[in-house]
Each structure stands twice: as C-alpha cells, then as structure tokens.
Amino acid sequence: MSIKVLYFASLREEIGRGADVIDFPPEETSSSLSVEQLWINSTGQQSFPDNLLVAVNQEYTNPQALLADGDEVAFFPPVTGG
C-alpha cells in the first residue's frame, strides 16, 4: 500500500521536507494502518502531538482513522489564515 504524506508550514520546516511517498509491504499492513501509525512511521516521532492537525484526502480526520492505498495524508500545525 502506498500513501502520499504532506507536511505544511512550521512542520514542513522542522521535518525538512514537504512530502513523502511511503510504500508499505502488504505484510506490514495486512489488517489496517492508522493515521497515528503513519505519523510515527514517516517522521520517526514517538507519538502524535496534541495540536497536530491531519487531513486525509483533503478532509480533516483524527489520528485513529484508518488509511487505504493511495490516500493523501497531510499533517500540519494549527491554521492561521484570514
């Protein structure tokens, strides 16, 4: 399963890149992969920060949401537009 991961704003700068494409071998995701697991896997961090926002396929979701092949997952800090 292949997931596109995006990072924005201060998070992008901290991580040092704006995007990852992560391919999981079928045996690693035989059951299900959550947003939180993806975060840990893609960033190497221990846990999902409290104020981190996440969107799957451009819609807000939560760290427990499960992912499917081809999903676009975006992680970002609190928004500050307007």
Partner 1 sequence: MDSLRKIIIVDSPFDPLQLQSEYQTESMRGQTNYGATANFVGTMRDFNEGDDVQSMTLEHYPAMTEKQLNLIVDEATEKWPLQNTLIVHRVGEIFPAESIVLVAVWSAHRGAAFDACRFIMEDLKHKAPFWKKEALTTGADRWVEENTKGY
Q: Point out which span in 22-30, 31-39, 40-48, 57-65 binds partner 1 (CB under 8 A).
A: 57-65
16 binds partner 1 (CB under 8 A): no
66 contact partners, CB below 8 Å, separation of at least 6: 32, 33, 34, 35
Q: Which of 1, 8, 40, 63 binds partner 1 (CB under 8 A)?
A: 8
Q: Which residues pair with 75 in a beta bridge?
A: 7, 54
Which is nearer to partner 1, 9 or 28 (by Cβ)?
A: 9
78 binds partner 1 (CB under 8 A): yes
Q: Which of 2, 17, 60, 70 binds partner 1 (CB under 8 A)?
A: 60
CB environment 2-19: b (16+ within 10 A), e (fewer): ebebbbeeebbeebeeee
72 binds partner 1 (CB under 8 A): yes
